[in-house]
Structure 1
Amino acid sequence: MAEHGTGGDATPLAGQDTDPDEGYLLANRQSEAGVRFSAFAELFDPVTFRHVDRLGIGPGMRCWEVGAGGASVPLGLAERVGPGGAVVATDIDVSWVRDVAGGPIEVLSHDVAADPPPPGAFDLVHARLVLVHVADRAEALRRMVQALRPGGWLLLEDADPKLQPLLCPDESGPEQRLANRLRNGFRTLMAARGADLAYGRTLPRVLREAGLADVQADAYFPMTSPACTLLEDATVRQIRPLLVEKGLATDEEIDQHLANVATGRLDLTTAPMISAWGRRPLT
């Protein structure tokens, strides 16, 4: 069940609250969110910063990190832009990122689909595992493109759970079958909250339709990583009440799954994260 519900860096569904029955399924305010953010950083920061470096983000540049969630990406961007640059990290809930404010990093409470972009033009706008959870994705995208300077880059990274729906692709026994059944329950909960489980694959087309140039994309998903195990444990504990309430799993099944995960012998994976990037034309 180590599906990207994070956004680790995600924004709740626009216009909704994060109570037990509405809004973002994996709210930042829950204690398990910190474990999830750490796991996402270990799993996906190398991918994110490979793209950031490829795009030439460096000293003196301005970056907007949308749906920051945890602190790892804002900190990594700050290292690259240096004291002469700027990193604006925004999220509806900045609980896990507010402590890194200072120097080149500014932290703002912000709804990407409802609020104007932060002032100033940006060399890079980045959102990881965010738009899949946002109700008005088109408006959020429009605002991010609007914030780019001519020649600036938009880097979007989002999950595609339908492309690879299994937690254990090697379904070799009852433990793996239980894991995959609970993963399906998680996907059911996500879809009920308005998440587009096939959004990741649309990113290249979405960027082209937004008028961006030089669009490219790739995809990545880890397998058999200790971070996948940590992510799965935290995710299941976070959504456990809803799995039981909606009749998607029993407490006994969840206890058994958590025990299976704790052995470290399940080959757990995540939904593919698709990274797509495009440049705002100079004219």
Structure 2
Amino acid sequence: MGEHGTDHGYLLDNQQSEAGIRFGALAELFDPVTFRHIDRIGITKGMRCWEVGAGGPSVPTGLAERVGTEGKVVCTDIDVSWARDAASDVVEVLRHDVAADPPPPGGFDLVHARLVLVHVVERAEALRRMVQALRPGGVLLLEDADPGLQPLLCPDESGPEQRLANRLRSGFRELMAARGADLSYGRTLPRLLREAGLADVRADAYFPITSPACTVLEAATVRQIRGRLVAAGIATDEDIDLHLSHVATGRLDLATAPMISAWGRRP
């Protein structure tokens, strides 16, 4: 683990080699959900979108296809190295801290953040800035995890492999909580959007119960945090090697925390 940097809320540092693998797995799991909402909202030719904390290039690229050459996608992150592949005439990639920097200028028809705010310590300020960036009639779509709603990696805890998986996942959640992550944040999104003055607020939730992408995501995540799990006394190296060997068989049914998607319109 990169112990050298500042140890703010990010347990999963974007610059590590596993991060690219994680972004790819998250895109495979959640892009269909994200774009179902974006298409329901009605993002079409000529619109302006702000993608906050993009991670990989898949969402900005999909937005660019929808808004076309007359539209604009501004894609921001603290670390933009992963999103650079999306840069084009339509997609502008900017290094930006959503909780500290003013919103990109111009006003937006859509502001979207997926699995971002749960990691941002100043999340209320970040939300305020995103709402401020909306044009009248613009929509804010926030998608964030709620591990508290479904905390298990293996909801079907049928044997010792599944019990070990759930014990390690529980330890990972303890580390996240100790760093200021709110493990019941997702469920608060509808209320936060209403309190921010948005109208027509709706929300739903999604999580896979088993998927090859969940297997890839779990292996990459555990490799990324194993040093912290061991240092915190949550697991031994032997525990982690055993769990990774179970994951590698592809026979564990691994889930994720529910991702709650909430959206509302600026009057």
**Which TM class, normalised by the smaller chain length?**
over 0.9
Verify: 1:243 aligned to 2:229, yes or no. Answer: yes
Q: State the Cα RMSD in Å.
A: 1.1
Partner amino acid for 2:41? L
Quick one: which amino acid aligns to residue 232 of structure 1?
Answer: E
Q: What is the distance in 1 between the residues matched to 2:68 and 2:53?
A: 21
Unaligned runs of 5+ in 1: 1-16
- The answer to whether the aligner puts 1:127 opposite 2:113 as a matched pair is yes
Report the more deviating stretch, 156-165 or 93-102.
93-102
Match of 2:253? Answer: 267
- Structure 1 position 136, deviation (Å): 1.0
1:100-249 to structure 2, matched below 5 A, reads: 100-249=86-235
Measured against aligned partners, the alpha-carbon deviations of 1:16-44 in whole angstroms (never above 9, x if no partner) come to x9827444100110000000000011000
Q: Which runs of 4+ in 1 moved over 6 A?
A: none
Instruction: Provide the secondary structure at the position in 2 that maps to 1:183.
Output: helix
**Equivalence for 1:7:** none
Q: Describe the SS at the equivalent of 2:88.
A: coil
Normalising by structure 2, what TM-score?
0.98
- Show CA shifts across 1:29-83 (max 9, x none): 0000000000011000000000000001010000000001110000000000001
Whole-angstrom distance in 2 between the partners of 1:129 and 1:265: 27
Match of 1:91 in 2: 77
Read off the aligned partner of 1:233 and give its amino acid letter: A
State the alpha-carbon separation in 1 of the partners of residues 178 and 15 from structure 2: 21
1:248 is displaced (CA, Å) by: 0.6
TM-score normalized by the length of structure 1:
0.92
CA–CA distance in structure 2, aligned partners of residues 265 and 99 of structure 1: 34
**Percent same amino acid among aligned pairs?**
81
Within 1, Cα distance between the matches of 2:9 and 2:121? 10
Kept in 2, the 8 Å contact 1:90–1:109? The answer is yes
Cα deviations by residue, 1:88-107 (Å, 9 ceiling, x for unpaired): 00000011111321210000
- Write out per-residue CA displacement over residues 159-190 of structure 1, whole angstroms, 9 at most, x where no aligned residue: 00011000000001000000000000110111
